[in-house]
Amino acid sequence: MIIAVAALLGIVGGVAVGYGVQAEREPTPLAALSQPGLGYPAKPLSADRAPAPLPAAQDRRVKTDRDLRKLLIDRPRGTRKTLIDELGLGDGWEPLDQYVERYYEDPHYMFESLAGLDLRRVASVAWEQGQHRETEVWLLQFRSGDQHGASEQFDDQIMYMPWDKDGAGNTGDAIKGSREGRYFLYPVERKAGYLPSYRARALAVRGDIALDISIFDTSPISKKDIRTLAERQLERL
């Protein structure tokens, strides 16, 4: 027991001496961080210590809160304005009731659905080319809240595309640069006395904006045409 007590006292005494020596030393500065610099904030803190705001080029919210029409893809060279634009009736903004009346077979249902998702505004651009081809591009922006309106609208549309009678009847192909966006070619529609009807459609979502593009023609539409158009529009967002 005497030997054990002596050993214990030796340990305690050594620890105490060690703490005493450490307490007498000057503080040793910490090594510099290996990370060369943080990505945010890009500028030094302001006088009130608040992070400096991101430049407009890096702040997507600044971009999308401005005139939404400026984010629409430009009309390609060699195309024509639609009749509505030629008459000066189209300014790029689309009222909700007008949008659903033009685009959906059940406009009353879609009006209530989009209003329930807290749709904020709709911007669109359209053009004609060749003899019968017409292209329409829509940007649907939703307000921020408990629900994510853009994603829900995208999910609703993408869900029926393979199965519904108004859908494309296939699962489509992935759009490069979009996590879930897809583009579709519809089966040709033929009616006696009419030219054949072809359609392609692209759907995607980025932030609070749902993207919807359609191409209509009396001649076959290539996958490249709708895919390239969707990729170019996503780059603007």
- Is position 49 within any domain? no
β-bridge pairing 133-142 and 173-174: unpaired
Res 129 pLDDT > 80: yes
* CATH number of the domain that residue 134 is part of: 3.40.1000
- Is position 127 within any domain? yes
The DSSP 8-state label assigned to residue 189 in this structure reads B
Structure tokens at 135: 């292209």
Q: What is the average pLDDT value for the chain, to the nearest integer?
A: 81
Res 200 pLDDT > 80: yes
User: Tens digits of per-residue pLDDT, 23-54?
Assistant: 555 555 555 555 544 454 555 555 555 555 54
Number of domains, the chain: 1
- Is position 14 within any domain? no
In degrees, rounded to 5, the angle at the alpha carbon of residue 77 between the alpha carbons of residues 95 and 215 is 50
- Is position 24 within any domain? no
- Is position 32 within any domain? no
Domain that holds residue 212: 80-236
The DSSP 8-state label assigned to residue 208 in this structure reads T
- Is position 116 within any domain? yes
Res 63 pLDDT > 80: no
Where is average pLDDT lowest: 38-47, 66-75, 95-104, 165-174?
Answer: 38-47
Write the burial class of residue 177 (CB in 10 Å: 0-12 exposed, 13-18 middle, 19+ buried): middle
Helix (H) or strand (E) holding 149: helix 149-160
In degrees, rounded to 5, the angle at the alpha carbon of residue 235 between the alpha carbons of residues 231 and 237 is 120
Where is average pLDDT lowest: 43-47, 67-71, 77-81, 104-108?
Answer: 43-47
pLDDT for 183 equals 98
Give exposure, 217-237, as e/b (b: 16+ Cβ within 10 Å): beeebeeebbbebbbebbeeb
- Is position 185 within any domain? yes
- Is position 106 within any domain? yes
What is the pLDDT confidence band of residue 177, given thresholds at 50, 70 and 90? Answer: confident
